[in-house]
Copies of this chain bind each other. A is one copy, B any other.
């Protein structure tokens, strides 16, 4: 991710597994004089399973030629194997919007990494249902929108959010946004909304996981980054991590320790998503790292 992005693209593919896929894809790329820099593949089952591929390749001059390249790939390779596929230029920054409530730790970590260009993205806006984080966000030169969510008027708020996002978000991140999204918003960004849940899912699904973890006396607490689907906390998991805790930590301390895990897990998931490393396989993910 640190090498030059010029003339470089990510090809991701998923399709029914059968012989000849790699030969077809690599043969096509070779015929175009493309050089494969990285390649990862996975088959959920060689017999009757699903095949997943991510290739990073370099092809001089692809910048001026992208549409033609895609059309040819579609005709010569993708159609034959009935592929779900995408070709993403590595030289273009994707647009990211962040939704947040009052906790700033996950948000700050993302803004900071974006500023250092660890993520290679353009953060187009931060939207919050509270005004508190305006100053912190604007100090990074990022636009802040306060969209309050009033009881019984959720739909109105979401309508406003959808308008703000339109054309400005290839990815939406819920960085501790304490509102449940409606299907309308979720359906508009399939596989493009990442949430951070502050527990090691599927343990402690729902609200207040640190309190429940403390009460259960677990010896590890965790965090989970997942794609948002209509079922609460049930979407495909991208990344999880844990930290050791003990009887010495009260619930406030669990929350402080948890913050560090939350922001690391979310940042890794976002970084992987933005470099096209995450492919969705039903309710699971294939993550090529």
Residues of chain A touching chain B, judged by Cβ–Cβ distance below 8 Å, are 1-3, 18-20, 22-23, 26-27, 29-30, 33-44, 46, 52, 58, 105, 108, 112, 116, 118, 139, 200-204, 215-220, 222, 236-242, 246-248, 250, 252-253, 256, 260, 264, 281, 283-287, 289
Contacts and interface: CB of A to CB of B under 8 A. Distances in A.
B46 A33 contact: no
A252 B2 contact: yes
Given A217-B237, A247-B281, A256 B22 contact: no
Contacts of A3: 250
Contacts of A260: 264
Chain A facing B: main interface SS: mixed
Indicate how many identical chains form the complex.
Answer: 4
Contacts of A39: 22, 39, 41
A219 B247 contact: no
Contact of A220 (B38, B240, B247, B287): B240
Contacts of A30: 19-20, 22-23
Contacts of A236: 217
Contacts of A219: 237-240, 287
A62 to B, nearest CB: 14
9 A-B pairs with least C-beta separation:
A217-B284, A23-B30, A2-B252, A203-B203, A23-B26, A22-B26, A219-B240, A247-B286, A19-B35
